[in-house]
Protein backbone atom coordinates (compact mmCIF):
# COMPACT_ATOMS: atom_id res chain seq x y z
CA UNK A 1 0.00 0.00 0.00
CA UNK A 2 1.17 3.53 -0.77
CA UNK A 3 1.98 5.77 2.21
CA UNK A 4 -0.03 8.95 2.85
CA UNK A 5 0.39 11.63 5.53
CA UNK A 6 -2.58 13.46 7.04
CA UNK A 7 -1.07 16.50 8.75
CA UNK A 8 -3.01 18.82 11.03
CA UNK A 9 -1.51 22.21 11.78
CA UNK A 10 -2.21 23.74 15.18
CA UNK A 11 -3.82 27.09 15.87
CA UNK A 12 -0.80 28.72 17.52
CA UNK A 13 1.37 28.04 14.45
CA UNK A 14 -1.32 29.40 12.09
CA UNK A 15 -1.27 32.57 14.16
CA UNK A 16 2.52 33.02 13.91
CA UNK A 17 3.53 34.17 10.39
CA UNK A 18 7.23 33.20 10.69
CA UNK A 19 6.49 29.71 12.05
CA UNK A 20 3.70 29.23 9.51
CA UNK A 21 5.93 30.15 6.56
CA UNK A 22 8.61 27.71 7.67
CA UNK A 23 6.01 25.00 8.26
CA UNK A 24 4.53 25.47 4.77
CA UNK A 25 7.98 25.30 3.17
CA UNK A 26 8.68 22.05 5.04
CA UNK A 27 5.19 20.67 4.34
CA UNK A 28 5.53 21.41 0.60
CA UNK A 29 8.65 19.26 0.47
CA UNK A 30 7.17 16.24 2.29
CA UNK A 31 7.21 13.56 -0.43
CA UNK A 32 4.22 11.46 -1.53
CA UNK A 33 0.48 11.97 -1.16
CA UNK A 34 -0.53 14.18 1.75
CA UNK A 35 -3.48 16.07 3.19
CA UNK A 36 -3.34 19.28 5.23
CA UNK A 37 -6.00 20.06 7.84
CA UNK A 38 -6.30 23.37 9.65
CA UNK A 39 -8.52 25.02 12.23
CA UNK A 40 -7.89 28.57 13.28
CA UNK A 41 -9.95 28.83 16.44
CA UNK A 42 -7.75 31.58 17.87
CA UNK A 43 -8.10 33.78 14.77
CA UNK A 44 -11.88 33.17 14.64
CA UNK A 45 -12.13 34.26 18.28
CA UNK A 46 -10.20 37.47 17.58
CA UNK A 47 -12.37 38.41 14.59
CA UNK A 48 -15.51 37.44 16.48
CA UNK A 49 -14.62 39.90 19.26
CA UNK A 50 -13.91 42.65 16.72
CA UNK A 51 -17.41 42.07 15.34
CA UNK A 52 -18.91 42.27 18.83
CA UNK A 53 -19.67 38.54 19.09
CA UNK A 54 -18.20 37.16 22.31
CA UNK A 55 -16.67 33.68 21.74
CA UNK A 56 -18.09 30.94 23.96
CA UNK A 57 -16.10 27.73 24.35
CA UNK A 58 -17.47 24.75 26.32
CA UNK A 59 -15.37 21.58 26.79
CA UNK A 60 -12.96 22.85 24.13
CA UNK A 61 -15.75 23.25 21.57
CA UNK A 62 -17.14 26.51 20.24
CA UNK A 63 -20.81 27.23 20.85
CA UNK A 64 -21.70 28.14 17.28
CA UNK A 65 -24.81 30.30 16.92
CA UNK A 66 -25.87 31.64 13.50
CA UNK A 67 -23.61 34.73 13.71
CA UNK A 68 -20.64 32.65 14.87
CA UNK A 69 -21.24 30.20 12.02
CA UNK A 70 -20.94 33.10 9.59
CA UNK A 71 -17.65 34.14 11.21
CA UNK A 72 -16.09 30.64 11.21
CA UNK A 73 -17.21 29.99 7.62
CA UNK A 74 -15.50 33.21 6.53
CA UNK A 75 -12.37 32.69 8.61
CA UNK A 76 -11.76 28.93 8.17
CA UNK A 77 -13.28 28.38 4.70
CA UNK A 78 -12.22 31.76 3.27
CA UNK A 79 -9.40 33.77 4.79
CA UNK A 80 -7.24 30.97 6.19
CA UNK A 81 -7.98 28.23 3.67
CA UNK A 82 -7.39 30.37 0.60
CA UNK A 83 -4.24 31.99 1.98
CA UNK A 84 -2.79 28.58 2.87
CA UNK A 85 -3.48 27.36 -0.67
CA UNK A 86 -1.89 30.48 -2.19
CA UNK A 87 1.19 30.06 0.01
CA UNK A 88 1.50 26.39 -0.95
CA UNK A 89 1.16 27.27 -4.65
CA UNK A 90 4.03 29.74 -4.18
CA UNK A 91 6.10 26.78 -2.95
CA UNK A 92 5.30 24.61 -5.97
CA UNK A 93 2.80 22.48 -4.05
CA UNK A 94 -0.36 22.19 -6.12
CA UNK A 95 -3.16 22.28 -3.57
CA UNK A 96 -6.94 22.56 -3.48
CA UNK A 97 -8.79 24.24 -0.63
CA UNK A 98 -11.82 22.32 0.61
CA UNK A 99 -14.43 22.15 3.31
CA UNK A 100 -16.35 18.98 4.08
CA UNK A 101 -19.18 20.29 1.89
CA UNK A 102 -17.04 20.39 -1.26
CA UNK A 103 -17.42 17.20 -3.31
CA UNK A 104 -19.46 16.01 -0.30
CA UNK A 105 -16.20 14.82 1.24
CA UNK A 106 -17.35 14.95 4.88
CA UNK A 107 -21.09 14.60 5.55
CA UNK A 108 -22.08 15.48 9.10
CA UNK A 109 -25.11 16.22 11.24
CA UNK A 110 -25.80 18.96 13.75
CA UNK A 111 -24.78 17.79 17.21
CA UNK A 112 -27.93 16.72 19.10
CA UNK A 113 -28.76 18.87 22.13
CA UNK A 114 -28.15 16.98 25.38
CA UNK A 115 -27.02 19.05 28.38
CA UNK A 116 -25.48 21.68 26.12
CA UNK A 117 -26.71 23.20 22.87
CA UNK A 118 -23.57 23.63 20.75
CA UNK A 119 -25.56 25.21 17.92
CA UNK A 120 -24.18 24.67 14.42
CA UNK A 121 -21.49 22.19 15.44
CA UNK A 122 -21.19 19.15 13.23
CA UNK A 123 -20.55 15.55 14.24
CA UNK A 124 -19.16 13.59 11.31
CA UNK A 125 -21.55 10.87 10.06
CA UNK A 126 -18.84 8.20 9.83
CA UNK A 127 -15.50 7.67 8.09
CA UNK A 128 -17.27 5.24 5.69
CA UNK A 129 -19.26 8.17 4.29
CA UNK A 130 -16.19 10.22 3.43
CA UNK A 131 -15.77 10.66 -0.34
CA UNK A 132 -12.52 8.69 -0.53
CA UNK A 133 -12.84 8.14 -4.30
CA UNK A 134 -12.54 11.88 -4.81
CA UNK A 135 -9.55 12.16 -2.44
CA UNK A 136 -7.81 9.22 -4.12
CA UNK A 137 -8.31 10.88 -7.53
CA UNK A 138 -6.68 14.07 -6.20
CA UNK A 139 -3.74 12.01 -4.92
CA UNK A 140 -3.38 10.44 -8.36
CA UNK A 141 -3.15 13.93 -9.87
CA UNK A 142 -0.63 15.01 -7.19
CA UNK A 143 -3.07 17.65 -5.91
CA UNK A 144 -2.90 18.22 -2.15
CA UNK A 145 -6.26 18.82 -0.43
CA UNK A 146 -6.24 21.50 2.27
CA UNK A 147 -9.21 21.07 4.63
CA UNK A 148 -10.82 23.76 6.74
CA UNK A 149 -12.62 22.81 9.98
CA UNK A 150 -16.06 22.84 8.35
CA UNK A 151 -18.54 20.13 7.37
CA UNK A 152 -22.16 20.25 6.15
CA UNK A 153 -25.48 18.62 6.99
CA UNK A 154 -26.73 17.84 3.46
CA UNK A 155 -29.69 20.17 4.06
CA UNK A 156 -27.94 23.38 3.09
CA UNK A 157 -26.17 24.22 6.32
CA UNK A 158 -22.46 24.50 6.96
CA UNK A 159 -21.35 23.13 10.34
CA UNK A 160 -18.35 23.89 12.54
CA UNK A 161 -16.29 20.77 13.29
CA UNK A 162 -13.11 20.57 15.34
CA UNK A 163 -10.05 20.32 13.09
CA UNK A 164 -8.51 17.42 15.07
CA UNK A 165 -11.68 15.41 14.43
CA UNK A 166 -11.60 16.27 10.71
CA UNK A 167 -7.99 15.05 10.56
CA UNK A 168 -8.70 11.74 12.33
CA UNK A 169 -11.85 11.14 10.25
CA UNK A 170 -9.93 11.66 6.98
CA UNK A 171 -7.06 9.50 8.25
CA UNK A 172 -9.43 6.63 9.11
CA UNK A 173 -11.34 6.94 5.82
CA UNK A 174 -8.14 6.93 3.75
CA UNK A 175 -6.77 3.88 5.61
CA UNK A 176 -8.70 1.56 3.26
CA UNK A 177 -6.64 2.86 0.32
CA UNK A 178 -3.33 3.98 1.84
CA UNK A 179 -0.97 3.27 4.73
CA UNK A 180 -1.85 6.42 6.67
CA UNK A 181 0.21 8.36 9.21
CA UNK A 182 -1.73 10.98 11.13
CA UNK A 183 0.40 13.86 12.40
CA UNK A 184 -0.88 16.45 14.84
CA UNK A 185 1.69 19.21 14.52
CA UNK A 186 1.65 22.19 16.85
CA UNK A 187 3.93 24.67 18.63
CA UNK A 188 5.45 22.24 21.16
CA UNK A 189 7.97 19.41 20.81
CA UNK A 190 5.32 16.78 21.52
CA UNK A 191 3.20 15.65 24.45
CA UNK A 192 5.19 16.96 27.42
CA UNK A 193 5.45 15.58 30.93
CA UNK A 194 5.64 19.17 32.10
CA UNK A 195 3.90 21.51 29.67
CA UNK A 196 6.37 24.29 30.58
CA UNK A 197 9.44 22.16 29.86
CA UNK A 198 10.20 21.50 26.15
CA UNK A 199 12.83 18.94 27.13
CA UNK A 200 10.24 16.71 28.82
CA UNK A 201 8.87 15.10 25.64
CA UNK A 202 7.11 11.77 26.18
CA UNK A 203 8.48 9.76 23.27
CA UNK A 204 5.90 7.00 23.44
CA UNK A 205 2.37 7.16 24.84
CA UNK A 206 -0.01 4.23 25.37
CA UNK A 207 -3.51 4.24 26.93
CA UNK A 208 -2.52 3.24 30.52
CA UNK A 209 0.18 5.95 30.78
CA UNK A 210 -2.25 8.46 29.22
CA UNK A 211 -4.86 7.63 31.90
CA UNK A 212 -2.21 8.14 34.61
CA UNK A 213 -1.02 11.50 33.23
CA UNK A 214 -4.59 12.70 32.78
CA UNK A 215 -5.32 11.79 36.40
CA UNK A 216 -2.22 13.75 37.53
CA UNK A 217 -3.29 16.78 35.47
CA UNK A 218 -0.10 16.68 33.35
CA UNK A 219 -2.23 16.39 30.20
CA UNK A 220 -5.14 18.80 29.97
CA UNK A 221 -7.24 21.14 27.82
CA UNK A 222 -6.90 20.78 24.01
CA UNK A 223 -4.48 17.87 24.37
CA UNK A 224 -7.23 15.62 25.81
CA UNK A 225 -9.55 15.53 22.76
CA UNK A 226 -6.46 15.37 20.52
CA UNK A 227 -5.30 12.19 22.25
CA UNK A 228 -8.81 10.73 22.30
CA UNK A 229 -8.94 11.30 18.52
CA UNK A 230 -5.47 9.74 18.19
CA UNK A 231 -6.39 6.50 19.98
CA UNK A 232 -9.70 6.29 18.10
CA UNK A 233 -7.86 6.64 14.78
CA UNK A 234 -5.45 3.81 15.64
CA UNK A 235 -8.36 1.57 16.66
CA UNK A 236 -9.91 2.19 13.22
CA UNK A 237 -6.91 1.26 11.08
CA UNK A 238 -4.63 4.30 10.96
CA UNK A 239 -1.08 2.97 10.86
CA UNK A 240 0.71 5.61 12.97
CA UNK A 241 -0.15 8.72 14.98
CA UNK A 242 2.48 11.26 15.98
CA UNK A 243 2.03 14.47 17.94
CA UNK A 244 4.94 16.82 17.42
CA UNK A 245 6.48 20.15 16.60
CA UNK A 246 5.42 21.86 13.35
CA UNK A 247 9.10 22.82 12.98
CA UNK A 248 10.00 19.11 12.84
CA UNK A 249 7.40 18.03 10.29
CA UNK A 250 10.00 16.76 7.81
CA UNK A 251 11.59 14.44 10.40
CA UNK A 252 8.19 13.23 11.61
CA UNK A 253 6.75 12.64 8.12
CA UNK A 254 9.97 10.83 7.20
CA UNK A 255 9.44 8.39 10.07
CA UNK A 256 12.34 9.87 12.09
CA UNK A 257 12.61 10.23 15.84
CA UNK A 258 10.76 13.37 16.92
CA UNK A 259 7.59 14.12 18.85
CA UNK A 260 5.34 11.66 20.67
CA UNK A 261 4.38 8.38 19.04
CA UNK A 262 0.91 7.22 20.09
CA UNK A 263 0.24 3.49 20.14
CA UNK A 264 -2.49 1.18 21.47
N1 LIG B 1 1.07 17.52 28.38
C2 LIG B 1 0.94 18.41 27.40
N3 LIG B 1 1.89 18.55 26.45
C4 LIG B 1 1.76 19.46 25.44
N5 LIG B 1 0.70 20.31 25.33
C6 LIG B 1 -0.28 20.20 26.24
C7 LIG B 1 -0.21 19.26 27.31
N8 LIG B 1 -1.34 19.38 28.06
C9 LIG B 1 -2.05 20.36 27.51
N10 LIG B 1 -1.45 20.87 26.42
C11 LIG B 1 -1.99 21.97 25.62
O12 LIG B 1 -2.55 21.47 24.42
C13 LIG B 1 -2.47 22.51 23.45
C14 LIG B 1 -2.68 21.96 22.05
O15 LIG B 1 -4.03 21.66 21.80
P16 LIG B 1 -5.06 22.75 21.24
O17 LIG B 1 -5.21 23.85 22.24
O18 LIG B 1 -6.30 22.03 20.84
O19 LIG B 1 -4.33 23.41 20.01
P20 LIG B 1 -4.11 23.00 18.50
O21 LIG B 1 -4.85 21.73 18.22
O22 LIG B 1 -4.65 24.16 17.74
O23 LIG B 1 -2.63 22.85 18.36
C24 LIG B 1 -1.09 23.09 23.69
O25 LIG B 1 -0.98 24.41 23.19
C26 LIG B 1 -0.94 23.01 25.20
O27 LIG B 1 -1.30 24.22 25.82
C1 LIG C 1 -16.61 22.93 17.09
C2 LIG C 1 -15.31 23.64 17.28
O3 LIG C 1 -14.94 23.93 18.40
N4 LIG C 1 -14.60 23.91 16.20
C5 LIG C 1 -13.34 24.58 16.22
C6 LIG C 1 -12.78 24.53 14.83
C7 LIG C 1 -11.43 25.19 14.69
C8 LIG C 1 -10.33 24.39 15.32
O9 LIG C 1 -10.42 23.20 15.61
O10 LIG C 1 -9.17 25.13 15.46
P11 LIG C 1 -7.83 24.74 16.21
O12 LIG C 1 -7.32 23.46 15.61
O13 LIG C 1 -6.97 25.88 15.88
O14 LIG C 1 -8.13 24.59 17.68
C15 LIG C 1 -13.49 26.05 16.69
O16 LIG C 1 -14.33 26.74 16.14
O17 LIG C 1 -12.67 26.49 17.50
- Site to probe by mutation for ligand 2, drawn from 39, 65, 110, 225 as the one with most ligand atoms within 8 Å of Cβ, is 39
Domain 3-262 has CATH 3.40.50.10490: no
What span, in angstroms and rounded, lies between the C-alpha atoms of 103 and 73? 17
Q: How far apart, in whole angstroms, are the C-alpha atoms of residue 257 and residue 49?
A: 40
Q: Where are the domains of the chain?
A: 3-262
What is the predicted pLDDT for the residue at 227? 96
* pLDDT tens-digit map of 101-147: 999 999 999 999 999 999 999 999 999 999 999 999 999 999 999 99
Pick from 8, 117, 149 the residue to mutate for probing ligand 2's pocket: most ligand atoms within 8 Å of its CB: 149
Mind listing the pLDDT tens digit for each residue in 205-250? 999 999 999 999 999 999 998 999 999 999 999 999 999 999 999 9
Reported ipTM: the value is: 0.98
The percent of residues above 70 in pLDDT, for the chain, comes to: 100
Residue 59: pLDDT band (50, 70, 90) is confident
The phi-psi region of residue 14 (left if phi > 0; otherwise alpha if psi is between -120 and 50; otherwise beta) is: alpha
Residue 7: Cβ within 10 Å count: 25
* Position 60 confidence tier, pLDDT thresholds 50, 70, 90: confident
Averaged pLDDT of the chain:
97
The residue contributing the CA closest to ligand 2 atom 5 is: 162
Amino acid sequence: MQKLNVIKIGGNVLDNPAQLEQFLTDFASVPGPKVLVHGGGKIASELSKQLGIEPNMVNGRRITDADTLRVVTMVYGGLLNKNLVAQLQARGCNSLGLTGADANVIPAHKRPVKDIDYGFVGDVESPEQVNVTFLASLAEQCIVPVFAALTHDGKGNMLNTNADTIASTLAVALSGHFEVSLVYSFEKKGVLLDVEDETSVIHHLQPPYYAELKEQGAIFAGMLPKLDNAFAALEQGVKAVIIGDAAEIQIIAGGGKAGTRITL
